[in-house]
Every structure is written in structure tokens, then in C-alpha cells.
Structure 1
Amino acid sequence: MSSVTYDSRGGIAEIAINRPDKHNVIDHSVVEGLNAAWRRFNASDDKVAILTATGDKAFTAGANLRDIPHDFWRAVPGVGVKVDKPVIAATAGIVIGGGLVLVQFADLAVAADNTVFSYPEAKVGYSGGLISSLAARIPHKLAMELLLLGGSIDARRAYEIGLVNKVVPVGEQRAAARDFAVQIAANAPLVLTMLKRFVGDVLPKGPSEAAAIARATVEAVNTAEDYHEGIKAFLEKRSPVFAGR
């Protein structure tokens, strides 16, 4: 069973964390699956992506603390993979740690009424720091309350502070997200891309976010076809033939 699924219909990609038996916990396979899904989304004709999870009890219980995926940043759209097309999060149940990070980097969010958002890493003694960008998306004091106390907020409170766009009965979150996606997919792609990029430039980036984006950029160069061609040409003592990819 794939840890992350990708379904495409009508120009809309539905990407789902698919480990319901483990509360959709984020392990190395989920990181790799999400990274691959964002790359597939970029290369596809899909215009909008819905990020969700299998089941209604947990969007995700957060990182697997027995084997923490320290490269979680690779799974985050706009951080590990540059994504210029709109992303909508659709949540239900618990949204812990890295799950909250994924929601904060989505462009829109729909929450089932049983959703509970939590960032308990201060209680655990572990954090990758990407959560700091939450303060650019919701009021500062409320972000700090979540981060420093390690508490939680329900779906209604998340709506009130602007973390989610809509709260719906449990089980209806995917349909509501798809309603948003259908409307977005009917709009001009070039305008959507421009506006998403411009908004990304307006939003402040925390240190971990900036560092992860830089690392992803360097990684893309050092794993490209041109990298392999350059090394091969050097060893073969010939001029390289670069393809720009």
C-alpha cells in the first residue's frame, strides 16, 4: 500500500497521506511520497491540488518519533518542492506537528468539524522550525500560544483566526475542498500562478523555511542530468554537453 496516493480528475489532483492504520503518521515513506506527489503535480496538467488524508480520525498524528524524518521539509509544498499552482488542504480529526505545517503552507484549507490542530513539539523536545512561518499567517499572539504552550485549537477556533477558510461536517471536507478547486481550475492559470508567486513574496519566511528552500534548490542542481554529465565528462576528459536539466 502506497503511503501517499495521487488521483487526478477534471484537472484537480487529490493527494492523500495513506496510513490510516497508523493515524497517517509522517515517516520517511510519507516524506518521499509527498515529495514525489508535488513533483508529479508540477509536471501534470492538473491545475489545483487537494492535500488530504485517508480516514476521518486523523489528517496526521505528526512525525514518527521512533524514527523522526528530519528531512520533513522535503514534503512541504513551496519549501521542499516549489509549487506555483494552488494547494487546498482538507482535514479531519487530529492535525499534529508536521500536519499543521502542511496546512499552514496550503493556499486554502477546509476543516471537518472534528478537526483539532496541535503543535506539541515544545513538550517533546523536537522541532524542525518550519512552524515559525505560522506567525505570518495567523495573529502573532495566537501562533505563540500554540507553539509555546503546545496546546490545541478546534476547527471553529481555527476558522475564527483565519487558519482555515471553511468548517464542514465530518466526511464532507473533501467535497468542500473540491468545490473550491473546481472554481479555481476554471480561472486563468497564468493569473493564478502570478498571484501565488506574488503572495509568496509578500509573506515573511522564517529561518528554517529559507534554509530548506536553499537546500532544495542546491539539491535540485546537484542531482540534475547536467550534474551527472559534467562529472562524467570530466572523468572522460572531454567537453560536457549540458542540456539545462
Structure 2
Amino acid sequence: MNETVTYESHQDVATIMIRRGNKLNALNNDVVEGLRDAWMRFEASDDRAAVLTSEGDRAFCVGADLSDPPAEMWEAVPGVGVSVTKPVVAAVFGHCVGGGYILSQHSDLAVVADNTVFMYPEARVGFTGGLCSGAAVRVPHKIAMEFLLLGEPLTAQRAYEVGMVNKVVPLGTQLEVATQMAQTIAQSAPLVVSTIKQFADRTVPLSPSEEAAHARRQLVQVSRSSDGQEGKAAFLEKRQPSFQGI
């Protein structure tokens, strides 16, 4: 785990925290790689639920760091960059912009502080990764299109009213409330929780960007595999490769 993302486990609940508060928890390569590794660790662990949050109180995440943009931002997203079969609860506060909103969108539950403001400004800045289009099947269509096309701020209360989040709580309590939710899940029947989570994930349609990311994830895994490295080394060394299937 790198220094920009930490992972703590307590009573079968993982707390995954972005620790880049001095940069408003913006996503750069270090954060993306840290989140990817955290989701992989969570999936392989005995933890039964995870809470995703960030340090500070000004911004959960302001999206991609435009001065140091990540190469593969989708790898940070649970269920997109890494297959995650256990529930994730987001504890959100302050500014939640762009990629920060995507992290919240792809969490199963979201608790937000009353100072939270969501914003998706990609239409205004001239680029998009497309994952935002998943909002169209997660909140009412007209609300999603208003949010995505106009790029105007959406308050915590409005987000709650349209079904984008589960609870609005006083600033400073969002992590506690999200952890309580995660603990309830962790104390429930694991097979039932897993079945509900997986059935729900299969019920929600994938956007074209999500489908592309899933395909890209498999290709990246092959490229980064031991066999992938062995194949390259064998070619350069002009020898027969010894593949292990890993």
C-alpha cells in the first residue's frame, strides 16, 4: 500500500482512505494505484464490507489531478478496475467532483456530510471518460442528464431527495455512520449478502465505458502477469518461454 491510500481492518470491516488532503484528495497515478491495490486486498481478505473515505473535511475528492493526471483512472473504481463482490459504503464530504463522484456512484451505499456538493463538470472542460453515464440507471434519468449535461452543483440534500445517496448527516459523523452500516453488513449472513450484491450488479446495465473498462482490465491483467513478463524476457533472450499460467 502506498502512502496516498491506507487500508485498516477492524471487526471484518475494511476502511480504505485516500490521504491526499493537501491536494483535495485529487486522483493521480499514486492514488489510483493505491485504490486498485486496496480493492484487490479487500476482495482477497476476510473483511465482509468496506468503507471508502478521504482525509480532511474540505473535499472527498475533486476528481483527476489535472497537473498530474492518472493514466488509467478507471482502475481506482470498485467493480470496474477490480472485481469487488462485497459491499462498499462511501463516506463523502465537501467537494465531490468528477472522478470523486464516480467513486461514490460505484459504491453500494453512500453516507454524505451536510456540506457535500456533487459536481460533474466534464462537459464544461471538454473531456470525459464516460463512466459518468452510469448515473442514468442509478438515479432518475432526467436528474442524471441535468447533473451530467449542465455541470451544475448538486447539494447533499438534493442528492438525497433524488436517490443518489442514502443519508445526509452532520459533517464529522459521516465516517461513523458509514462504518455502522458496514458493521451491520459484516454481521449479516455472508452468502446472502454476496448473492444480493452479485445479483444486483448483474441487474444494473453496464455503460459502454464500463464494458470497455472490464475488457481493458482483463487485457491489463494479462500484460502484467508473470507469463506476460516471461514472454517478453524470452523473446529478448531468444529462448523458449516457460509459461506458468499466472
Bin of the TM-score, shorter chain as denominator length: over 0.9
Identity fraction in percent: 52
Query: What are the equivalent positions in structure 2 for 1:26-105 lying under 5 Å apart?
Result: 26-105=27-106
SS at match of 1:134: helix
Tell me the SS of whatever aligns to 1:29: helix
Q: Distance in 2 between the 1:165 and 1:217 partners?
A: 32
- Shift of residue 56 of structure 1? 1.4
Contact kept, 8 Å, 1:56 with 1:93, in 2: the verdict is: yes
Q: Separation in 2 of the partners of 1:45 and 1:227?
A: 29
Residue type at the aligned position of 1:177: A
Amino acid in the other structure paired with 1:151 = E
Partner of 2:8: 7
SS class of match (2:81)? coil
Tell me whether 21-30 or 111-120 shows the greater mean CA deviation.
Answer: 21-30
- Identify which range, 105-114 or 219-228, moves more after superposition: 219-228
CA shift at 1:27, angstroms? 1.1
Q: Are 1:119 and 2:125 matched, yes or no? A: no
TM-score, scaled to structure 1: 0.93
For structure 1, the residue ranges without an aligned partner over 5 or more in a row are none
When structure 1 is superposed on structure 2, of 51-60 and 184-193 the one drifting more is 184-193
Q: Is the 8 A contact 1:70 1:128 kept in 2?
A: no
Superposed CA offset, 1:99-154 (max 9, x none) = 00010000000000110000011111121110000111000110110111011111
Find out whether 1:163 has 2:164 as its counterpart: yes
Equivalent residue letter for 1:118:
M
Q: In 1, distance between residues paired with 2:73 and 2:229?
A: 26
Counterpart residue identity of residue 59, structure 1: F
- Partner SS state of residue 222, structure 1: helix
Counting only pairs closer than 5 Å after superposition, residues 122-141 of structure 1 correspond to structure 2 as 122-141=123-142
Secondary structure, in 3 states, of the residue corresponding to 1:38? helix
CA contact (8 A) 1:57 1:93 kept: yes
CA deviation after TM superposition for structure 1 residue 232, in Å: 6.3
Aligned to 1:193: 194
Do the aligned partners of residues 221 and 56 (structure 1) sit closer, same or farther apart at CA in structure 2, a change above 3 Å counting?
same
Distance 2:229 2:194 in 1: 31
What is the rounded CA distance, in whole Å, between the counterparts of 1:152 and 1:220 in structure 2? Answer: 37
Q: Distance in 1 between matches of 2:221 and 2:98?
A: 27
TM-score normalised by the chain length of structure 2: 0.93
Deviation track 1:28-81 (CA, whole Å, cap 9, x = no partner) reads 111111111111111211111100000111101111112322410010010011
Aligned to 1:22: 23
Decide which of 226, 231, 240 is 1:237's aligned counterpart: 240
Question: 1:179-218 alignment to 2 at 5 Å?
Answer: 179-218=180-219
CA deviation after TM superposition for structure 1 residue 241, in Å: 5.6
Distance 1:199 1:40 in 2: 22
Aligned to 1:109: 110
Q: Work out whether 1:220 is the aligned partner of 2:228.
A: no
SS of equivalent residue, structure 1 residue 89: strand
| Contact 1:115/1:155, CA 8 A, preserved across alignment | yes
Structure 2 CA distance for aligned equivalents of residues 45 and 224 of structure 1 = 24
Cα 1:169–1:69, aligned 2, differ >3 Å: closer, same or farther? same
Q: 3-state SS of the aligned residue for 2:118?
A: strand
| Distance change >3 Å, CA 64–CA 237, structure 1 → 2 | closer
Return the letter of the residue paired with 1:68. Answer: P
Aligned residues: 243
Q: Over aligned residue pairs, what C-alpha RMSD do you find?
A: 1.7
Question: What is the letter of the counterpart of residue 99 of structure 1?
Answer: G
Residues 17, 24 of structure 1: 8 Å contact kept: yes
